[in-house]
């Protein structure tokens, strides 16, 4: 009987405090990683936006030139 009781004591699980502590640490680390990734992506988004604006301006310019050529009879 003592042997069974001793084995059951060794099979204890984690306490609620331990689990909450680990979950809290994981949340803090995930937040730090998310902020770091967001800061790294911000310059890339600005560069991509700039490229899109340049392409749009070129398209408008080409379209205006084609429209002008059509108006003068080409």
Side-chain-side CA neighbours of residue 59 (13 Å): 6
CA 29, CA 27: separation in Å to the nearest integer?
Answer: 5
Pull the structure tokens for residue 14: 């984690």
Give the range among 17-21, 36-40, 66-70 with minimum mean pLDDT.
Answer: 66-70
pLDDT tops 60 at residue 12: yes
Of 8, 7, 26, nearest in space to 18 by CA: 26
Pull the structure tokens for residue 44: 């890339």
pTM value surpassing 0.85: no
């Amino acid at each position: 009987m003592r042997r069974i009781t001793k084995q059951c004591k060794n099979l204890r699980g984690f306490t609620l405090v331990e689990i909450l502590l680990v979950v809290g640490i994981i949340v803090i680390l995930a937040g730090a990683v998310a902020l770091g990734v967001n800061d790294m992506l911000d310059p890339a988004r600005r560069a991509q936006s700039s490229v899109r604006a340049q392409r749009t301006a070129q398209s408008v310019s080409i379209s205006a030139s084609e429209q002008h050529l059509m108006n003068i009879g080409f």
